[in-house]
Amino acid sequence: MIRQAAATAFAVALAALPAAARADLFSSVSYGVQASTAGHGITLEKPLLYDFSVRIQTGTMSISQQFNYDGNPYTSTAHYNHVGVIADYRPYAGRYRISGGLVFGSDGVDNVARFASPTLRVGSGVYPISGTGTVRTRLRYDRPSLYAGVGTGTGLIRGLALTFDVGALVRNGTATASASGPLASNAAFRADLERLRAEQRTHVVVPVVSVGLNYRP
């Protein structure tokens, strides 16, 4: 009888061993770095269930480009400085994940008109650059942005994995327009500055592609 009870207890312990090992594997926190079209930073991921985890991801970057608007050349500089809180669901605990979350921070875009001619179009008016001075618009996405995407990963060596994600940020921001010249106090010019501000796109969907390297101890 005692031998039978001992054998039963031993069998139960053996059956529970893989489940305990798996639970311990999913309780560890992974650390990583990632580079994306919306900034580069670090990633911390905490599995909560076999098919569900939460990660915190940072993004920092500045990038400039040239473009024309209303016939004027502009220098546009996008600034990324944010933290994302993202939940990942892995169907059947597989390698593919469906992600969703919120991104907090002070991302924004600065657009500065460049002097390519003696005049500058602002709103519906054309003004001498000696009167407008430097004209700029600023977009700030300081409200939480929605993120949705999908991703996958592949192991490189034990504990180290390469990840790949594609998704989109849904942004809702605010815009301002300003000028440094003497016309800044002119009512007609201020009205055109307001038109320029209103033309800025404050509701945008930004595609995001990222590659990361994660380590789970």
Name the average pLDDT for the chain. Answer: 87
Looking at residue 93, what is its pLDDT?
78
Q: Domains in the chain, ordered, with CATH?
A: 28-215 (2.40.160.170)
Phi, psi (degrees; rounded to nearest 5) at 197? -60, -45
Residue 80: exposure state from Cβ atoms within 10 A (0-12, 13-18, ≥19): buried
| Residue keyed to tokens 């307001």 | 194
Describe the chain by its helix, strand, coil percentages, rounded to 5: 25, 60, 20
Give the DSSP per-residue string, 101-116.
EEEEE-EEEEEEE---
Tens-place pLDDT, residues 46-81: 988 888 999 999 999 999 999 999 889 999 999 999
- Can you tell me the mean pLDDT for 126-155? 94
Enumerate the β-bridge partners of residue 107. 141
**Highest mean pLDDT out of 15-19, 125-129, 146-150:** 146-150
Across residues 181-194, what is the average pLDDT?
A: 94
Distance linking the first and last C-alpha atoms of the chain: 43
pLDDT of the residue at 27: 56
Over range 190-200, report the average pLDDT: 95
Report the pLDDT value the prediction gives residue 115, as an integer from 0 to 100.
87
Helices (H), 29-151: 129-132
